Chains A and B, each alone.
Chain A
Amino acid sequence: MSASWLLRRLALILYTTFIVSVLVFGITQALPADAAVTLLGENATAEALNAIRERLGLGDPIWWQYLRWVGHAATGDFGLSMRTGQPVGPEMLTALGRSLLLAVAAILVMLVIAVPLGMLAAVRQGKLADMATGLISYLGVSFPEFVTATLLAMLLADTLQWLPATGYVSPLEDFGGALRHLALPVLTASLILVAHVARMVRSETLDVLHSDYIRAARLKGLPERTVLVRHALRNALLPVVTIVALDVGYLLGGIIVIEEIFAIPGIGRQLMVAVTARDLPSIQAGALIMSATYAVANTLADVAYAVLDKRIRYD
């Protein structure tokens, strides 16, 4: 991994962010119902609308609005939320923090479940264990997340009363409480991902097990355990790194519904609220922060991959 590779990746993150900014800005411009109307709701008067539009600069040409926004965003100033009047940047970063907490926890839980499951299925290919793990993982992906969330909450919170049903507690305020409150959403999110990753681990392990070097290892007379542990496991797990990075993206923005049900004001949900309220600064800042995070996660995954797999050299 050379410095110039890293530089290039950084440039690519910037490029990605730029494209996203254009994309998101474009879409927000096309959103029907302008923010001023939404903001004032049923109390909009012509004067009030004009006052707000003027304040927000909504009357300027679009390219100018875009440039102004990019200019400010570059200095970290994403403007004030139209909805709450609070500065958008800090608000979205706080939300991102919550989402990342959820994402990291969910990924850890998911890996702990999915990797052994996938390996087991591969080693016992075609046997009962394979079928069983397959079924479990199918069930995970086969229900809409709001159903999974509802059913889990009904079971673990309402009926068994093991866990608090909902709500977000900051780990800085109350660590134990935060863990307990995170348990259900993390479980829901990881159940959805388990299938994906377990299947990946299974097929990668199978591929590796059928590769020539595993065959060669067996023909060299190595015991099966050595073949599995030393030769197969590591190679099979490599691609999982990439998948995990993709899942970060999903966990940041794809679990709006989980965040909504469990009352976690994460970035996905905040964006959803912003879209509903046509709160353009929030949409733009949120989408941008989110995709930058995603790009960074992918870069980190690439770096991790190269560290783990000596074949890969980035230059």
Chain B
Amino acid sequence: MTDLLRRLMRTPQGAIGLILLAVLAAVCLFGPWLAPHDPEKMDFLGRFRPLGAQNWFGADQFGRDVLSRLLVGARSTLPMALAATLLGTVAGAVVGTASAYLGGRWDEAIMRTIDAVMAVPGLLLALLLVSTLGNGAGNAMIAIAVTFAPGMARVTRAVALTVRGQDYVKSATVRGESASWIIFREMLPNVMAPVVIEATIRVSFAVMLFATLSFLGLGAQPPASEWGLMVAEARQYVHQAPWILIAPSLAIAMTAIAFNLLGDGLRDAMNPRDER
């Protein structure tokens, strides 16, 4: 583990990604204490106040401090995106591994069904699900997890197929282990590496999807300062006060870049190539 971390820090992507993530994690943990203002405090005179000493990142249409909203909003943005990814990844990994293990017709049936679910574009599926479950961050999270799961299942299955061919799985089969033991104890731990890489990159998709759902009015509930919601609300004022759009957009971009960098770094760190 520490070895991996060291290798990760040695790749430029991994190092920058980790540093950015550390900053984000700090914001998630300490955001409310770092925030200079109450994120929900409205100030009639401060509407659209530009960047300056009073509001470092300016103020929004309610005169709320954008920086404070960003700092506090990290909590409702990042953990949600992480949780959605995690949920989708775990579900997908289990289904993918099981499908690879079961093989034959079961595999065929599961994979074709997953193809079908994937044929419904993610955003639309999320949209339908949120419309069904009702608005709100929690439901958006579930919807995003559901849209992620099939893709993760596919990725996992591809890896799991090679793992399934490994002799240690065969030897478990030969000694008569149960399917659940083989799937969860023999195979899953060995497919996790590529799955984790895939997942880190998907976190940024999740952030984006949350933002889009919020844009469509289906994500977090106002006055939450979830970043996607902030961007969505700010869009109509883009000509008046571009900073209220740009500040949260940059925060989202930073998150996305951090996770992408981490994913790329992990990819390099986890399978060292024969460099010649």
Q: How far is the CA of A32 from the CA of B216 in the complex (A)?
A: 17
| Interface residue ranges of A172-190 to B (CB < 8 Å) | none
> Measured between C-beta atoms, what is the minimum distance from B11 to chain A in Å?
10
Neighbouring B residues of A24 by C-beta, 8 Å: 120, 128
**Are A27 and B132 neighbours in the complex by a CB distance under 8 Å?**
yes
Closest B residue to A12 by CB, please name it.
Answer: B112
Closest A residue to B119 by CB, please name it.
Answer: A291
| Interface residue ranges of B247-276 to A (CB < 8 Å) | 249, 252-254, 256-257, 260-261, 264, 267, 273-276
| Interface residue ranges of B104-161 to A (CB < 8 Å) | 112-113, 115-124, 127-129, 131-132, 134
| Interface residue ranges of A39-79 to B (CB < 8 Å) | none
A287 close to B (CB within 8 Å): yes
With A253-B121, A254-B123, A257-B212 in contact, do A30 and B235 touch (Cβ < 8 Å)?
no
Neighbouring B residues of A146 by C-beta, 8 Å: 211-212, 215, 231-232, 235
> Measured between C-beta atoms, what is the minimum distance from A312 to chain B in Å?
16
**Are A20 and B119 neighbours in the complex by a CB distance under 8 Å?**
yes
Interface residues contributed by chain B, number (CB under 8 Å) = 47
Neighbouring B residues of A290 by C-beta, 8 Å: 119-121, 124
With A31-B132, A257-B212, A275-B128 in contact, do A144 and B231 touch (Cβ < 8 Å)?
yes
> Measured between C-beta atoms, what is the minimum distance from A5 to chain B in Å?
15
> Measured between C-beta atoms, what is the minimum distance from B26 to chain A in Å?
20
The answer, among B113, B120, B211, for a CB contact under 8 Å with A253, is B120
Q: How far is the CA of A147 from the CA of B245 in the complex (A)?
A: 8
With A210-B274, A249-B121, A252-B121 in contact, do A16 and B132 touch (Cβ < 8 Å)?
no
Closest A residue to B253 by CB, please name it.
Answer: A142
**Are B119 and A295 neighbours in the complex by a CB distance under 8 Å?**
yes
Q: Mark A135-170, 1 if CB is under 8 A from B, else 0.
A: 000110111111100100010001000000000000
Neighbouring A residues of B216 by C-beta, 8 Å: 256-257, 272
B4 close to A (CB within 8 Å): no
**Are A139 and B121 neighbours in the complex by a CB distance under 8 Å?**
no
| Interface residue ranges of B76-120 to A (CB < 8 Å) | 112-113, 115-120
With A142-B260, A147-B231, A272-B216 in contact, do A291 and B120 touch (Cβ < 8 Å)?
yes
The answer, among B124, B134, B249, for a CB contact under 8 Å with A147, is B249
Q: How far is the CA of A284 from the CA of B122 in the complex (A)?
A: 16
Neighbouring B residues of A18 by C-beta, 8 Å: 116
Neighbouring B residues of A287 by C-beta, 8 Å: 120, 124
Neighbouring A residues of B238 by C-beta, 8 Å: 150, 154
B32 close to A (CB within 8 Å): no
**Are A19 and B116 neighbours in the complex by a CB distance under 8 Å?**
yes
Interface residues contributed by chain A, number (CB under 8 Å) = 52
**Are B116 and A23 neighbours in the complex by a CB distance under 8 Å?**
yes
Closest B residue to A286 by CB, please name it.
Answer: B124
Closest B residue to A212 by CB, please name it.
Answer: B274
With A23-B116, A295-B115 in contact, do A32 and B134 touch (Cβ < 8 Å)?
yes
**Are B252 and A268 neighbours in the complex by a CB distance under 8 Å?**
no
A294 close to B (CB within 8 Å): yes
> Measured between C-beta atoms, what is the minimum distance from A112 to chain B in Å?
23
| Interface residue ranges of B185-242 to A (CB < 8 Å) | 204, 208, 211-212, 215-216, 228, 231-232, 235, 238-239
Q: How far is the CA of A24 from the CA of B132 in the complex (A)?
A: 12
**Are A254 and B122 neighbours in the complex by a CB distance under 8 Å?**
yes
Q: How far is the CA of A271 from the CA of B275 in the complex (A)?
A: 49
> Measured between C-beta atoms, what is the minimum distance from B6 to chain A in Å?
18
Neighbouring B residues of A144 by C-beta, 8 Å: 208, 211-212, 215, 228, 231, 249, 252
Closest A residue to B126 by CB, please name it.
Answer: A254
Which 9 residue pairs are nearest across A and B when measured between Cβ atoms?
A253-B121, A19-B116, A291-B119, A142-B253, A142-B256, A144-B211, A16-B116, A294-B119, A253-B124
Query: What residues of chain B have their CB less than 8 Å away from a CB belonging to chain A?
Result: 12-13, 112-113, 115-124, 127-129, 131-132, 134, 204, 208, 211-212, 215-216, 228, 231-232, 235, 238-239, 245, 249, 252-254, 256-257, 260-261, 264, 267, 273-276
A–B complex contacts, Cβ < 8 Å, 25 sampled: A16-B119, A20-B119, A23-B117, A31-B132, A32-B131, A139-B253, A139-B257, A141-B208, A142-B204, A142-B254, A144-B231, A144-B249, A147-B235, A147-B245, A150-B238, A250-B121, A253-B121, A253-B123, A254-B122, A257-B216, A275-B128, A287-B120, A290-B120, A290-B124, A294-B119
4 new A-B contacts, CB < 8 A, other than A16-B115, A18-B116, A147-B235, are A19-B113, A138-B256, A143-B256, A210-B274
